[in-house]
């Protein structure tokens, strides 16, 4: 196998970041404590952002941190702490045949996604995007020219979501 | 040595350069933190008309010293060292029923964003020898990076509050998360105005834009964003939001001592508390740096365009001074920002929780959004009708925004029925009964 195109420092960096991300992802489902699971998810999102950085996609990576790590996960933690889920033992599930079905469906999903993703990834030697790909300028230009209608429709959808949540909160209070 | 260095691989050189830049930023910030603490204690005591710590480091009145040094105290400058020694040798109490991993992890998480935020701040010109020294990373997403990192600041506080297994700590953590999320929005909107006006997220571009002629019209003054109408509104909003983001008075509800003991750091002692303390001061320093970079012209000493003043000897000297001492001017602006923090702390009483929320959501966010629309209008008018029409429309639109805001505020005050519950109850010694005193009549009574 020809290894001359492999950039070893990059590969090492990728191995570290991807390894931590995978461990954190396992931790999300493995920890019995809800707060620790949420923290593992935070680490996972963070590592994902670092992966985007190594691929020259700073904009995507930073959006990942702003939206998921900085906003959504903070709210998750907030809700978990407010709910006060109680002892971890109460959250343990009963051992029954659910895990067999889960394993089968998980393997099927892995095979499905793998078969679709692996083929286009064959023989790709340059792992990075071009420097201008995904920069704020190009993202802005694409959003406001080619995808203007989807963008506006999404913004209206978000507005409806905000107004709806205010309405729900008010009704509960009054 | 240099020769050997230049023969190494470019990747190695990049890594070493980057590490050097990180150290050049981190070490000064770390060293300035004790100075900040000393300055806060002395400045605050001066504002509160008391003396403050002025004794540590007093020299003895011995004959071996020169006469002018005998018994001098140097304004207690060594006080931070004494504080540090005290914190080191205090008994480190770890409560028993805590979540141990998260408890030890939380101070580190609190410290990280404070330092990481400085990664994109340019403390010198981006040409000449300073180009390789600053900023640590001149990425094309600078402002977004700052927002992302400052949004991580909440984790340290929330985790500390949760792991302590103490109701007051948990309350502090929950308050902090609600507060930081609320004020992040207004902060993002106020920065977005500047980004929109400037057309770039890069902080070095932002400083360059502030070196252009003032309002595009006055050639010998620099266009610092705080001098533009929309920039001034943004600056005020940003200043309030950065005080809230660093949990400083009057927004220090997460550690309000008369309600929550010490809030999220109640269960932390000795060095672990010192790390929280250090993180707060480093965050103050770095946020002041952000304010200086975005609104106060970055590393420029004065808003004067030296290159437009002709090329006489003295102008050239002053321009050189402005250029070569750039990091000094930048740190000076940070010092002004920290003094403003202390001044605000000495002046304003702590907000009540509902006041904090309504200030963030009902005042700052609509104002910042209105300001954003004004900037968009200004750009449109400037592009279509030229700069004069642009400025006039911007000022008029800002006045309209303020008028709408003021009328909405008055309407809201008239409509709110809760005001009746907020009257102050005072016990009147003359009647020996409880009288209801309206808040506005308090001064007269």
What is the DSSP track for B179-231? HHHHHHHHHHHHHHHHHHHHT---HHHHHHHTTSEETTTEEEEE--GGGSHHH
- How close A65 gets to chain B, by Cα (Å)? 6
- How close A78 gets to chain B, by Cα (Å)? 7
| CA distance linking residue B106 with residue B88, whole number of Å | 18
Least confident of A115-119, A141-145, B131-135, B175-179: B131-135
| CA distance linking residue A52 with residue A46, whole number of Å | 10
From the list B11, B151, B162, the residue facing A70 with the nearest CB is B151
| CA distance linking residue B208 with residue B226, whole number of Å | 15
The SS3 of residue A128 is: coil
| Beta partners for residue B425, in sequence order | B436
Q: Are B402 and B393 in contact (CB under 8 A)?
A: no
Predicted pLDDT at A20: 92
Q: How far is CA A37 from CA A29, A30, A106, B18, in A?
A: 7, 8, 20, 34
User: Judging by DSSP bridges, how do beta strands B424-428 and B433-437 pair with one another?
Assistant: antiparallel
Question: Could you read off the pLDDT of A36-91 as tens digits, one per residue?
Answer: 888 899 999 989 988 888 887 888 888 888 888 888 888 888 888 777 666 556 55
The SS3 of residue A42 is: helix
The SS3 of residue B142 is: helix
Which of A45, A63, A66 to probe by mutation at the B interface, max B CB count within 10 Å?
A: A66
Tallying the residues shown for chain A, one arrives at 174
Tallying the residues shown for chain B, one arrives at 445
Predicted pLDDT at A1: 43
| CA distance linking residue B393 with residue B385, whole number of Å | 10
**8 Å CB contact of A81 and B152:** no
Chain A CB contacts of B173 below 8 Å: 81
**8 Å CB contact of B158 and A71:** no
Return all residues near B189 (Cβ < 8 A) that are at least 6 apart: B237, B365, B368, B369, B371, B372
**8 Å CB contact of B181 and A74:** yes
Residues 78-97 in B contacting A (C-alpha not used; CB under 8 Å) = none
| CA distance linking residue A88 with residue A112, whole number of Å | 34
pTM of the model: 0.83
Q: Which residue of A has its CA nearest to B106?
A: A39
CB-defined contacts A:B, below 8 A? 64
- What are the backbone dihedrals phi and psi of residue A153, each rounded to the nearest 5 degrees, phi first? -65, -40
- Interface check for B154 against chain A (CB to CB < 8 A): the answer is yes
Per-residue pLDDT of chain B (445 residues; tens, 9 = 90+): 677 777 777 777 778 888 888 888 888 888 888 888 888 888 889 888 888 888 887 777 777 777 777 777 777 788 888 888 888 888 888 888 887 888 888 888 888 888 888 888 888 787 777 777 777 777 788 888 888 888 888 888 888 888 888 888 888 888 888 888 888 889 989 999 888 888 888 888 888 888 878 777 777 778 888 888 888 889 999 999 999 888 887 888 777 777 777 778 788 887 888 888 888 888 888 899 999 988 888 888 878 777 777 777 877 777 777 778 888 888 899 899 999 989 998 888 888 888 888 888 888 888 888 888 888 888 888 888 877 777 788 788 888 887 887 777 777 666 565 555 555 555 555 655 555 555 554 444 4
From the list A36, A70, A74, the residue facing B148 with the nearest CB is A70
Task: Encode burial over A88-122: b for 16+ CB neighbours within 10 A, e otherwise.
Answer: eeeeeeeeeeeeeeeeeeeeeeeeeeeeeeeeeee
Say what the alpha-carbon torsion angle B135, B138, B144, B147 is, to the nearest 10 degrees. Answer: -10
The rounded radius of gyration (Å) of the Cα atoms in chain A is 21
Q: Give residue B86's Cα distance to chain centre.
A: 28
Predicted pLDDT at B418: 55
Expressed in angstroms, the distance from the first to the final Cα of chain A is 70
From the list A36, A42, A62, the residue facing B144 with the nearest CB is A62
Q: Is the pLDDT of residue A2 over 70?
A: no
| CA distance linking residue A74 with residue B182, whole number of Å | 12
Predicted pLDDT at B429: 57
- Interface check for A11 against chain B (CB to CB < 8 A): the answer is no
Chain A CB contacts of B147 below 8 Å: 66, 70
Peptide bond into B135 cis (omega under 30): yes
Q: Is the pLDDT of residue A157 over 90?
A: yes
Q: Are B145 and B119 in contact (CB under 8 A)?
A: yes
Q: Which residue of B has its CA nearest to A58?
A: B141
**8 Å CB contact of A66 and B147:** yes
**8 Å CB contact of B162 and A35:** yes
| CA distance linking residue B67 with residue A75, whole number of Å | 63
Q: Single out the residue of B102, B156, B192 nearest to residue A34, CA to CA.
A: B102
**8 Å CB contact of A74 and B151:** yes
Residue for token pair 């895990």: A99
| CA distance linking residue B119 with residue B286, whole number of Å | 10
What angle (nearest 5°) sits at the alpha carbon of residue B398, between those of residues B225 and B414? 130
DSSP state of B134: S
- Interface check for B99 against chain A (CB to CB < 8 A): the answer is yes
**8 Å CB contact of B158 and A35:** no
| CA distance linking residue B251 with residue B153, whole number of Å | 15
Which run of H or of E encompasses B434? strand B433-437
- What are the backbone dihedrals phi and psi of residue A94, each rounded to the nearest 5 degrees, phi first? -70, 145
Task: Encode burial over A11-48: b for 16+ CB neighbours within 10 A, e otherwise.
Answer: eeebeebeeebeebbebbeeeebbbbbbbbbbbbbbbb
ipTM score assigned to the predicted complex:
0.77
**8 Å CB contact of A78 and B158:** yes
Q: How far is CA B398 from CA B228, B241, B386, in A?
A: 12, 20, 19
Peptide bond into B250 cis (omega under 30): yes
Expressed in angstroms, the distance from the first to the final Cα of chain B is 78
DSSP state of A32: S
Which of A9, A70, A173 to probe by mutation at the B interface, max B CB count within 10 Å?
A: A70
**8 Å CB contact of A63 and B177:** no
Chain B CB contacts of A9 below 8 Å: 11
Residue for token pair 């999220």: B264
Chain B CB contacts of A60 below 8 Å: none
- Interface check for B181 against chain A (CB to CB < 8 A): the answer is yes
Structure tokens that stand for A141 in this block: 């230009």
| Beta partners for residue B424, in sequence order | B437
| CA distance linking residue B221 with residue B303, whole number of Å | 6
**8 Å CB contact of A58 and B177:** no
Q: Are B329 and B301 in contact (CB under 8 A)?
A: yes
Predicted pLDDT at B445: 42
**8 Å CB contact of B154 and A74:** yes
Predicted pLDDT at A86: 60
Q: Are B312 and B68 in contact (CB under 8 A)?
A: no
Which run of H or of E encompasses B84? helix B79-89
Chain B CB contacts of A77 below 8 Å: 158, 162, 177
Structure tokens that stand for B229 in this block: 């109408």
The rounded radius of gyration (Å) of the Cα atoms in chain B is 25
| CA distance linking residue B190 with residue B367, whole number of Å | 9
From the list B99, B155, B201, the residue facing A136 with the nearest CB is B201
Question: Could you read off the pLDDT of A85-114 as tens digits, one per residue?
Answer: 665 565 566 667 777 888 899 999 999 998
From the list A39, A77, A136, the residue facing B141 with the nearest CB is A136
Q: Is the pLDDT of residue A136 over 50?
A: yes
């Amino acid at each position: 196998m020809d290894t001359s195109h492999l950039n070893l420092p990059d590969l090492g960096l990728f191995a570290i970041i991807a390894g931590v991300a995978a461990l954190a992802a396992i931790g999300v489902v493995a920890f019995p404590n809800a707060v620790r699971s949420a923290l593992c998810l935070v680490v996972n999102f963070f590592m994902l952002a670092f992966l985007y950085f190594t691929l020259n996609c700073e904009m995507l990576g930073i959006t990942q941190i702003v939206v998921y790590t900085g906003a959504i996960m903070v709210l998750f933690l907030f809700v978990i702490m407010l709910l006060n889920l109680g002892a971890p033992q109460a959250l343990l599930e009963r051992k029954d045949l659910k895990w067999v079905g889960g394993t089968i469906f998980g393997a099927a999903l892995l095979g499905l996604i793998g078969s679709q993703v692996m083929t286009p990834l064959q023989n790709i030697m340059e792992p990075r995007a071009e420097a201008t790909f995904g920069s704020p300028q190009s993202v802005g230009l694409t959003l406001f020219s080619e995808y203007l209608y989807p963008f506006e429709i999404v913004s209206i959808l978000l507005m409806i979501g905000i107004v709806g949540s205010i309405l729900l909160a008010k009704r509960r209070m009054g | 040595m240099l020769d050997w260095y230049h023969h190494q691989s470019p990747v190695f050189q990049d890594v070493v350069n980057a590490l050097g830049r990180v150290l050049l930023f981190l070490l000064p910030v770390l060293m300035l933190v004790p100075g900040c603490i000393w300055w806060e204690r002395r400045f605050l005591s001066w504002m509160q008309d008391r003396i403050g710590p002025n004794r540590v480091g007093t020299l003895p009145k011995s004959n071996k010293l020169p006469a002018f040094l005998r018994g001098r105290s140097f304004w207690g400058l060594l006080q931070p060292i004494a504080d540090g020694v005290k914190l080191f040798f205090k008994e480190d109490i770890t409560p028993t029923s805590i979540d141990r991993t998260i408890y030890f992890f939380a101070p580190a998480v609190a410290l990280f964003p404070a330092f990481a935020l400085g990664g994109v701040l340019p403390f010198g010109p981006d040409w000449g020898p300073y180009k390789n020294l600053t900023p640590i990373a001149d990425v094309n997403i600078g402002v977004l990076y700052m927002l992302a990192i400052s949004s991580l600041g909440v984790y340290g506080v929330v985790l500390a509050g949760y792991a302590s297994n103490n109701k007051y700590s948990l309350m502090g953590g929950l308050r902090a998360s609600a507060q930081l999320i609320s004020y992040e929005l207004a902060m993002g909107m106020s920065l977005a105005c500047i980004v929109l006006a400037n057309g770039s997220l890069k902080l070095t571009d932002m400083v360059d834009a502030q070196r252009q002629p003032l309002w595009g019209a006055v050639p010998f003054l620099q266009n610092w964003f705080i001098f533009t109408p929309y920039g001034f509104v943004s600056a005020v909003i940003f200043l309030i939001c950065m005080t809230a983001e660093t949990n400083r008075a009057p927004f220090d509800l997460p550690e309000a001592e008369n309600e929550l003991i010490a809030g999220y750091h109640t269960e932390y002692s000795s060095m672990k508390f010192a790390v929280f303390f250090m993180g707060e001061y480093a965050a103050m320093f770095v946020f002041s740096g952000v304010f200086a970079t975005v609104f106060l012209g970055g590393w420029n000493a004065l808003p004067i365009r030296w290159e437009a003043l002709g090329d006489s000897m003295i102008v050239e000297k002053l321009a050189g001074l402005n250029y070569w001492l750039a990091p000094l001017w930048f740190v000076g602006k940070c010092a002004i920002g920290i003094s403003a923090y202390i001044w605000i702390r000495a002046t304003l009483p702590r907000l009540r929780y509902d006041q904090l929320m309504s200030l963030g959501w009902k005042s700052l966010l609509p104002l910042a959004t209105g300001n954003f629309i004004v900037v968009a209008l200004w750009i449109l008018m400037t592009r279509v009708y030229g700069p004069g029409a642009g400025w006039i429309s911007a000022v008029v639109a800002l006045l309209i925004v303020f008028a709408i805001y003021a009328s909405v505020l008055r309407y809201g005050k008239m409509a709110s029925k809760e005001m009746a519950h907020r009257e102050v109850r005072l016990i009147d010694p003359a009647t020996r009964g409880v009288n209801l005193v309206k808040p506005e009549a308090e001064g007269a009574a």
